[in-house]
Amino acid sequence: MPSIRLPAPQGFEDFSLSAPREFPRAQPPFPRVALAAAHVVADPLAEQDPWLDAKVDWDRTIAYRKYLWSLGLGVAEAMDTAQRGMGLDWAAAQRLIRLSLDAMKDVPGAVMASGAGTDHLAPGPDVTVDDVIRAYEEQCEAVERLGGRIILMASRALARAARSPADYERVYARVLSQVREPVIIHWLGEMFDPALEGYWGHHDHMEAMEVALSVIHAHAAKVDGVKISLLDDRKEIAMRRRLPNGVRMYTGDDFNYAELIAGDAQGHSDALLGIFDPIAPAVGGALAALSRNDLSTFHDILAPTVPLSRHIFKAPTRFYKTGVVFMAWLNGHQDHFVMVGGQQSTRSIQHFSELFRLADKAGLLRDPDLAVARMRQLLALHGVA
């Protein structure tokens, strides 16, 4: 196996790669719903201002969705992992959703749900709660018109405009009363997006949870599930145990997903995760094991991915997309390491070096020679010969 000299906390070290792991392959139905929030592939050759424009390589972006479907995973489209609201605007998100829905028609059994929010409405002092409602209605109608299922994304504009929990209850009641099919409500924590601090009208997560649960119980027939992204397994379990019958908990905990998906005597979480994008082969293998009730193999596959995920999602957590795209580049899913909004610059060479080590330990570098060649390119770019 190849080796490479990598930066380390104290100087440099020689690192020898392991053989990639062969993960079991299986097709749904699995005992858990598993949606991978998928990244977008930037177009590095487009004429643009990289920090301002969202130029997407649509062919490579859709090809990656087909790859995820081939492994038995569903796709959560136009979400945070796709740099929604952090480089990808609503106009580009609509095109992404449309192209993905078209591609899904050619994949038997493929599953997809798409983000609808208010990101075309800039938060500001003059934005009212009624403005937020209209923005949600516009995006939900657009997704439904395309034939898509809705993931109801958290709203920066609502976080700014709301004056009390009652404003959240009014907005969600209005929107949920109008959707055609049950939606997934997404509670994205402030560690992922600082503009969402105090969502549901409370800065304390447990008090905020009471508001969210009130909304879900009042409109349970219109709620397929709730995804919480708070990176706290205790809070997720506490909420999971209080959901109405038939409403799923989709874990958004990229630190503790293995245990939450496995579950306990009182229930389990399904999954809608950004980390499923770079670790998709392992997820497919783990779910295949879970289908056989083989918890030992399930944990054996996922356990090495957890340190990788914790590293990719380390603070500032909102920069995790850089690690996701870096993995796609290392594994040959795209020919470059350029991101929408120039976000490839948000992590250090030390961060990438440790990510490289952890990906190898998880057996997720599918072509070690290619991964080494590309890592050497990145080291050279950083002045490391």
DSSP state letters, 321-364: HHHHHHHHHHTTSSS----GGGGGGGS-HHHHHHHHHHHHHTT-
What mean pLDDT do residues 270-283 have? 98
Measured distance between the N- and C-terminal CA atoms of the chain, rounded to whole angstroms = 21
For residue 47, pLDDT beyond 80: yes
pLDDT score of 293? 93
Type of residue found at 173? A
Q: How is domain 27-352 classified at the architecture level of CATH?
A: Alpha-Beta Barrel (3.20)
Residues 6 or more apart in contact with residue 358 via CB below 8 angstroms:
307, 308, 311
At 76, give phi and psi (nearest 5°): -100, 110
- What gap in Å lies between CA 279 and CA 372, rounded to an integer? 18
What pTM does this model have? 0.96
* pLDDT, tens only, 351-376: 999 999 999 999 999 999 999 999 99
Query: Using N-to-C axis directions, what is the helix angle for 205-218 and 233-240, rounded to 10°?
Result: 30
- What gap in Å lies between CA 310 and CA 251, rounded to an integer? 15
pLDDT score of 53? 83
pLDDT score of 258? 98
DSSP state letters, 28-52: SPPSS-EEEEPP--B-TTS-S-TTT
* pLDDT, tens only, 57-100: 999 999 999 999 999 999 999 999 999 999 999 999 999 999 99
Give percent helix, percent strand, percent coil of the chain, each to the nearest 5: 45, 15, 40
For residue 327, pLDDT beyond 70: yes
For residue 385, pLDDT beyond 70: no
Please provide the average confidence, as pLDDT, over all residues in the chain.
97
pLDDT score of 155? 98
Domain ranges (residues) in the chain: 27-352
Geometric angle at alpha carbon 206, from 201 and 211, rounded to 5°: 45
Q: How many other CB atoms sit within 10 Å of the CB of residue 101?
A: 18
For residue 50, pLDDT beyond 90: no
Q: How many other CB atoms sit within 10 Å of the CB of residue 74?
A: 24
* pLDDT, tens only, 215-242: 999 999 999 999 999 999 999 999 999 9
pLDDT score of 28? 87
Burial of 228 (0-12, 13-18, 19+ CB in 10 A): buried
* pLDDT, tens only, 161-206: 999 999 999 999 999 999 999 999 999 999 999 999 999 999 999 9
At 210, give phi and psi (nearest 5°): -60, -40
